[in-house]
Structure 1
Amino acid sequence: MLSNKDIARLRAETDGVQHVIHFNNAGSALPPNVVRDTVIDYWKQESLLGGYEIQAQRANELDETYYSLARLINAQKEEIAIVENATSAWNAAFQAIDWQEGDEIICNRPDYASNYLAYLHHPKKPKVKVIPTTASGDEDLEAFEKMINSRTKLVSITHIPTNSGHVAPAEQIGSICRSRNILFLLDACQSVGQYPVDVEKIKCDMLSATGRKYLRAPRGTGFLYVRKEILPQLTPYVVDLHSATWTGEQTYTIRTDARKFENWEGNRANQLGLKAAADYAHAIGLEAIWHRIQALALEVRKGFRQMPHVHCHDEGSLLAGIVSFTVSGHSAAQVQQYLLKEGINVSWNGTPNTYLDMTAKGLSEIVRVCVHYYNTEEEVSKLLELLQKLK
């Protein structure tokens, strides 16, 4: 657990908390100072010495980014590819699968728009099945098992969605997929950095993640994990001189590690910022982070239950740090702007972000309060006081 002294230290290491109450961590979290300074320091050196030259000088440090990310999710560095965002990571894995006519995908109801659009857009037009939910809002695992058949090519699960604090039972789903020898792709965009993600426990074959959200890394960073046993089965949709070697007029070879999903060019300053963020989270401890986030989110939900005009829309037996709600008589954008004028950052999204889940709940939009460990109980109290006045 994080003590009050720990929280004070972490806030002292984040200059942004002196300027704003930031509850938009599922959008883009405030970076710790060490991440900011790491990026600026590298960029300054690049501007003085040259991009290729400073990359060569700091090659070992850059390479250690793969170790830092692997350690964070209990993987191996050869299973990590660094890309520019979670959608790029997810698509790199999805497009690398050998899709055939008649293949089927199983996903969950809160699946993210970019993922579902990829299913619809794929030229092979795989059939998409959606796991039904129980009365509590959890994925119905018994129904899920019955949905698997000989045509099931992929199980694609959004771990924590963009529109609520729901946490999918990834470990149980992973065990079922492994027992049935079905590929399992986990969208961990909102979970890496807040939930103690362990790819060995989850048993996912592929995992996509971003840097800017709960991991507190720079925008424009993300990574892909691919289990080493699965790597030979996946062929990158795009290759270049980094991911492949041109060996003859009509021949080439593709890398055998996860970096076959990377491009040659990349933002090296941001890469080191991503490393610094992963190391920072590891030093705090993901279990401690997860406990803190859940505790703060619980306080928000408790406060909402005391306000008849505020309606919380999170479902499931396990809830994370994204708290989704609406306020009677006010649009989501109006609520966001009201809080912004009071120095509080929140965000909102609408039906197109998670179409299946939003329509199933009868919602067209929600506001998100997304707490992080550096937020305080006093900040939560101020949020609740302001929303109490918004009648």
Structure 2
Amino acid sequence: MQIQTTPYLDVAQLRADTPGCQDNLFMNSAGASLMPQPVVAAMMEYLQQETQVGGYEVERLRMGQIGRLYDETAQLLNTQLHNIGFAYSATDAYFRILSAIPFQEGDTILTTSNDYVSNQLAFLSMQQRLGIRLLRINDLPNGDLDLTHAEELIRKHHPVLVAITHIPTNSGLVLPAEEMGKLCRQYDVWYLLDVAQSVGQLPLDVNRLQADFLVATGRKFLRGPRNTGFLYVSDKALESGLAPLYIDRRAANWTGPDSYTLQTSARRFEPQEISLLSVGLAEAVRYTNQVGLEAIVQQNQQLMHQLRMGLEQIDGLVLLDRGTQQSNILTFHTIRQSVAALETALRRERVVFTIQYSNSAVIDFQRKRVDWLIRLSPHYFNTLDEINEVVDLLGQIIH
């Protein structure tokens, strides 16, 4: 008989590593989470050395430390080092990938209505400038993505690219990324998956996701510094020769006046300047790997169950998140208080959160018939006592 063990999470140590959670009720890991001390220490040490010998010399001396980013990220995604590249953000990675696909007028991009605003704006710009067609997959009545409709659109329109966001920034909804990957593989369509909100809170295995491209940011649930991110590029995409339209010096070797050779790995998508930022991101990914996604998921499930159960009991507060699977993002609206009054009251009590307005997710806001929402996104360093305190505060404010 095999004994099932519970993953151990030393919350006291995690909170000791996270000084910011001592002074605030921090509920904004979906925006920019709190960096743990080892991340800050690694960057400070690196920056201090730069003041002594300059950035290029530190980069030369610390190539091994910089290279840890690829090792740790490959471990996080269950892939190989050559499939990983650094980016300044998920959006930076996203744009580099879009520029690599040779779209022609009339080509179709298939996406969803639950997407990150910058991704949608990029599609709309491409629609105006390049003449591509943008189609969106329907949702089911419960909010889930309609995979039957997705397959119908793929079969009818033969899109060049299917692009979805695993967890939208404006909702706790988790889209069926693995199922979409199977469809894209079946119909031989390029598949781009934005995991900016899922990396660091959900296990991600690229072999199961079957994405050709995956983009992520460091500042959210990974708890890394801002202006960091990474991308995953599949062997299929690399072997096909895809590369960004604008190639930086890390991405290729200039071999002659009119020739160059690409990096064979995903580093062909990288920018030149990565050293200090990549050290911080590498440490953040290492920290996540050390804590362990299984333990993180278990802690987060407890936190979110407590938060949702508590807020559901508050008369006049409406939870907006839909779908079969939900994440560590919770959104709500109320007509009992103005958003300005809510913001003032919560910030006075040291709650750190995000307000979103309709221009961040036009389709979703129209569907939900609201023009603003408040987003709470706790993470594994939070405690049930903090969750209860936030619930009590909102109960007092919304009366």
TM-score computed with the length of structure 2 as normaliser: 0.94
1:152 aligned counterpart, secondary structure: coil
The residue type equivalent to 1:112 in the other structure is: Y
1:46 paired with 2:50, answer yes
The two structures, once aligned, show a CA RMSD in angstroms of 1.4
Aligned partner of 1:384 in structure 2 is 391
1:218 paired with 2:222, answer no
1:385 aligned counterpart, secondary structure: helix
1:260-292 superposed Cα distances (whole Å, 9 cap, x missing partner): 1112123x2221111111011111111221222
Aligned partner of 1:250 in structure 2 is 258
Aligned partner of 2:105 in structure 1 is 101
1:59-91 superposed Cα distances (whole Å, 9 cap, x missing partner): 112112111111111121111110111100111
Residue ranges of structure 1 left out of the alignment (5+ in a row): none
Q: Percent identity?
A: 38
2:121 aligned counterpart, secondary structure: helix
Alpha-carbon separation, structure 2, partners of 1:294 and 1:331: 30
Residue ranges of structure 2 left out of the alignment (5+ in a row): 1-5
Alpha-carbon separation, structure 1, partners of 2:130 and 2:341: 42
- State whether residues 165 and 323 of structure 1, in contact with CA within 8 Å, keep that contact through their aligned partners in structure 2: yes
Alpha-carbon separation, structure 2, partners of 1:108 and 1:42: 41
1:306 paired with 2:313, answer yes
Alpha-carbon separation, structure 1, partners of 2:347 and 2:267: 41
Aligned partner of 1:81 in structure 2 is 85
- State whether residues 167 and 174 of structure 2, in contact with CA within 8 Å, keep that contact through their aligned partners in structure 1: yes
Aligned partner of 1:259 in structure 2 is 267
The residue type equivalent to 1:341 in the other structure is: R
2:297 aligned counterpart, secondary structure: helix
The residue type equivalent to 1:264 in the other structure is: Q
CA shift for structure 1 position 338? 1.7
Alpha-carbon separation, structure 2, partners of 1:136 and 1:239: 43
1:125-148 superposed Cα distances (whole Å, 9 cap, x missing partner): 321111111121100111111111
The residue type equivalent to 2:195 in the other structure is: A
Alpha-carbon separation, structure 1, partners of 2:258 and 2:58: 35
Alpha-carbon separation, structure 2, partners of 1:336 and 1:237: 43
1:115 paired with 2:119, answer yes
CA shift for structure 1 position 206? 0.4
Alpha-carbon separation, structure 1, partners of 2:243 and 2:104: 14
- State whether residues 333 and 370 of structure 2, in contact with CA within 8 Å, keep that contact through their aligned partners in structure 1: no
2:373 aligned counterpart, secondary structure: strand
- State whether residues 97 and 233 of structure 1, in contact with CA within 8 Å, keep that contact through their aligned partners in structure 2: no
- State whether residues 336 and 347 of structure 1, in contact with CA within 8 Å, keep that contact through their aligned partners in structure 2: no
The residue type equivalent to 2:261 in the other structure is: T
Alpha-carbon separation, structure 2, partners of 1:371 and 1:174: 29
- State whether residues 131 and 139 of structure 1, in contact with CA within 8 Å, keep that contact through their aligned partners in structure 2: yes
CA shift for structure 1 position 333? 4.3
Structure 1 residue ranges, 4+ long, deviating more than 4 angstroms after superposition: none
1:231-272 superposed Cα distances (whole Å, 9 cap, x missing partner): 234231211322122222222222221111112123x22211
> When the two structures are aligned, how many residues end up with a matched partner?
389
1:9-53 superposed Cα distances (whole Å, 9 cap, x missing partner): 211221111111110110110111111111111111111122111
CA shift for structure 1 position 2? 5.1
Alpha-carbon separation, structure 2, partners of 1:332 and 1:370: 18
Q: 1:185 to 1:361 in 2, by over 3 A?
A: same
1:265 aligned counterpart, secondary structure: coil
Alpha-carbon separation, structure 2, partners of 1:76 and 1:334: 50
2:15 to 11, 14, 18: 11
Aligned partner of 1:25 in structure 2 is 29
